[in-house]
Every structure is written in C-alpha cells, then in structure tokens.
Amino acid sequence: MSRTLKTVAVSLSLFVLTTHSIAQDKLTAIYALDVDGKNARMISDMEGFPSVGSPDVSPDGTRIAFDGWQEGENSGDAQIFILDIKTSKTQSVGYGAMPTWSADGKYLAYSSYDPRGVCIQAADRVASTIIDPSGWGIQWSPDGKKLAYTSRGNFIIYDLLTNSKKTIQPRADNPYRSIYWNSDWSPDSKKLCFKGTLADGTYETAIVDISEDEPKLTVCYAYKGGYGNEFAWHPDGDRITTVKWSKGAQIHSFKPAANVETSPLEGQPTDRDNVAVDWSRDGKTLYFVSRPRKSE
C-alpha cells in the first residue's frame, strides 16, 4: 500500500452552538458523571442536532470532540464539533465523523464520508490529510505514536514514528466478517477493545493485544444483539464502559477479561437513552451522550 499522503480541503460553515433553557429534557445533550457515580449533569444540549455521538475528551480535559448531524440529515452529513467544557460553547470544525485527539491535543484524526477514508487535520484548521481511502473508524493511541482503523475486517495499525502500516487479523482461525467503528485503545496503547461480527452473525466484544509479533485475542462476551459498539477504557485499565440496549440504552461496565458479564453504571439518568461514552484522561469524569427516550 502506498504511503503517499493526499491533502484535500474541507468545505464548511463555522458556527457556534450554545446551551438553551427551553425543554432541555427533550433535547439530545452531552452529560458528565463523576467516577463515583455521583453528580450527573448536563454539559451542553444540542438543539437541532438529535443525532450526536463518538465523544472524545481532549488530553488536557478542557474540550470534547464529537460528531453530529441536524434534523432531516443523515450520517453522511455528519460534522465534527469541539465543545469547550467550561463555557459549553460548541463549534463546527468540518465535515466528518468519529474524531479522536492526538496526545498533544493539536490534531484530530477522523473518518470522512466525502472523500471517503480516514484523515488527520489540525484541530483549529479545515485542511485535512487522507491517511487511507479504504479505512474507517480511526482511533489515536493514548501515547500518540499509533493510529488504528479498520479495513476489510482487519485492523490497520499506522506507526507514526516509522510511517509504516501493519495489518492485524484478530481472529485467524475464524476471521471476523466485519469490525465495527468506535473501538478504543487500552491506556498503555498495547490493546484494542472492539465489536466484531463472525460469519454466523454472532457478535463478539473482544480485546486484541498488538504488542507482540502475533496478536492475542481475548473474547470478553459473545451475543446475538443488545450491545452497542462504542467503548471507553478507563485510564486505570481495570474496566471498560459500553452501551447495552434493553427497553432503552444504558451505560454498562465490564472487566477487560475473558467470559465476563456487564453491569449498569450507577448514577446515570435511567429515564433517558445514554448512547456514547468517553473517560477524561485523569479518570475522574465520564462524559456521555444522552437523548430523550422514545415512547414505546
């Protein structure tokens, strides 16, 4: 595969979203929850943007990058936003989805619908660099040295120090038919937690260790449905959060080990659907997207 980088310009209109006081319980919003399960609070509502997801907290804990699209649009119209946690002001920085911060907080990697592929751009600019036109669901490692994304049922690990790519097939004996977007790195940048689909339609939440020459796979749990595909690995390394669907969406937690069960996270709003998660780098705060639960 060629390592030549292609630069493109992203056309966009910059605008600022601020919080509103009208019927906030009816709006999609970004919430925060302390690590002890207390002090659930709204950080910013997203009036006019019912579809919001893939939050990623900046390394310094002051900003959240996420994606979203407006009423009447679809995922192909997704924009990337940056939320200032202190002021609750939100600004669009271009079209794309699933943003992820570099370790120094200066750059964002993301997935682009048009042109298709995985890209990098400076957080405060609109020019982007295509990393791989066949890639999707890119994630920056916590140490800032690697990028991981999916392509044709495998992971591609892009080493930024050597400008080289390595293909990782997590399951050599029974390859995944597909690997979902929104995987997450372990705090030590050695493992990836993800959702994969087997040939028979079974889903697996699994962890692949890429630190050795041969990848090592750990299947946390298998299922036919009911779980989302977004993960947030706590900086302590002892637990991972995800989303479980059962008469609504709630945040669950599980240990990074084989054959485990998930348990609901205490303190989250139980009358709303909580659908996307990320921990602050200091491990003190969980940020998540919460939206009104539709009547059954």
pLDDT in tens, 257-276: 999 999 999 999 999 999 99
Calculate Rg over the CA atoms of the chain.
18
Q: For position 173, what pLDDT does the model report?
A: 84
At 172 the three-state DSSP class reads coil
- Rounded-to-integer distance, Cα 132 and Cα 258, Å: 32
Residue 163 has pLDDT above 90, yes or no: yes
Q: CB–CB of 122/94 below 8 Å?
A: no
- Give the contacts of 174 (CB within 8 A, at least 6 positions apart): 198, 199
Region 1-10: mean pLDDT is 33
Give the chain's mean pLDDT: 89
Q: Which helix (H) or strand (E) holds 38?
A: none
- Give the contacts of 216 (CB within 8 A, at least 6 positions apart): 208, 209
Percentage of the chain with pLDDT > 70? Answer: 91
Residue 6 has pLDDT above 90, yes or no: no
Q: For position 295, what pLDDT does the model report?
A: 63
Percentage of the chain with pLDDT > 90? Answer: 77
Residue 126 has pLDDT above 50, yes or no: yes
pTM (predicted TM-score): 0.90
Please write the tens of the pLDDT for every residue from 164-198.
Answer: 999 999 988 888 999 999 999 999 999 999 999 99
Q: CB–CB of 262/228 below 8 Å?
A: no
Instruction: Select from 188, 191, 154 the least CA-distant residue to 170.
Output: 154
Structure tokens at 169: 């097939």
Classify residue 169 by burial, with Cβ atoms within 10 Å: 0-12, 13-18, 19+: middle
Please write the tens of the pLDDT for every residue from 227-262.
Answer: 999 999 999 999 999 999 988 999 999 999 999 999
Please write the tens of the pLDDT for every residue from 54-83.
Answer: 999 999 999 999 999 888 888 888 999 999
